Structure 1
């Protein structure tokens, strides 16, 4: 892949077949996780009557989903207040469906605009913003799965099962950085 760059009012890049497959595969995996979480939302009769959707009131158990869908309000572990727990649950229940919609929406834009066999990717600014968000979600998910931290080396020994995936993480970081540069040109 060559750097993203601006051509007039479009943001353009060229992906080879393997790069397109990696992006499409990872975005699809994140989207599947998010859709499964949305399907787990409790059915609420009041929501059906009012049209106001509600989501789960508790954080996901899966660490990747928990990273993608963080708490809207963090509880103070030193001074627990039962009212705070109720408000955190209520905030999650009210806002998680919209967050899931947004994350699934940006994933859909990537899947719609990333050619399965590779080739030119030509994006309007709004589509480029969606790509940026979806790639960020993939990086968060992959970073959580790989247990990436600030003190992790840039390369891991070959025998480390994470070594190949770390290369993908670094490549996605570069893709994201060059996309940011092209958007801000």
Structure 2
């Protein structure tokens, strides 16, 4: 992939890059995998009688069991390290608050993530080639790339102690290279979007 460039034209700002066929296939596959997880989560939301009466969509009230989805759809409130969880039933109250917030907002969060990923799928040529984005599409790319990085990083167990390179015999090594490529792509896009 080439570095992103910015071009001002009569039609407005355009952001350009180019991908080879292999890069396009890898990116499309990763994005499609994340969208599949999110779609499955949305489809498995329980039916809610109040939502049926009001037309208001609701989602799950419990966090996902699957680690990647839990990273993509974290709790709204996490207890601080210094706060005791069981004092005066605070842990239960926090779980209730998280459940209520999740039930109300998870559908729209999933919709936003699905929309961002769809922009990537619609703007990456299937067989590689030029990528041309508006600033709005670039914002969607940043969000979608972040979700893919979160998912891949969770699967690889990436944390602050993960080295930049792994032993070539480590089965995670090729995937870590892809993670770094996604990071570079996202950073390059941020740099060209900055005024």
TM-score after normalising by structure 2: 0.92
State how far apart, in whole Å, the 2-side matches of 1:100 and 1:107 are.
11
State how far apart, in whole Å, the 1-side matches of 2:161 and 2:115 are.
33
Work out whether residues 75 and 85 of structure 1, in 8 Å CA contact, stay in contact via their aligned partners in 2: no
Q: Deviations over 1:143-168 (max 9, x none)?
A: 00000111111111121110110000
Equivalent residue for 1:105? Answer: 115
Say how many residue pairs are matched: 185
The answer as to 2:74 corresponding to 1:64 is no
Deviation at 1:130, TM superposition (A): 0.3
Equivalent residue for 2:105? Answer: 95
State how far apart, in whole Å, the 1-side matches of 2:77 and 2:57 are.
19
Equivalent residue for 2:3? Answer: 3
The answer as to 2:26 corresponding to 1:15 is no
What are the equivalent positions in structure 2 for 1:106-121 lying under 5 Å apart? 106-121=116-131
Deviation at 1:75, TM superposition (A): 3.8
Work out whether residues 30 and 138 of structure 1, in 8 Å CA contact, stay in contact via their aligned partners in 2: yes
State how far apart, in whole Å, the 2-side matches of 1:129 and 1:79 are.
38
Please list every run of 5 or more consecutive structure 2 residues that lacks an aligned counterpart in the other structure: none
The answer as to 2:51 corresponding to 1:47 is yes
RMSD: 1.1
State how far apart, in whole Å, the 2-side matches of 1:75 and 1:95 are.
20
What are the equivalent positions in structure 2 for 1:91-170 lying under 5 Å apart? 91-170=101-180
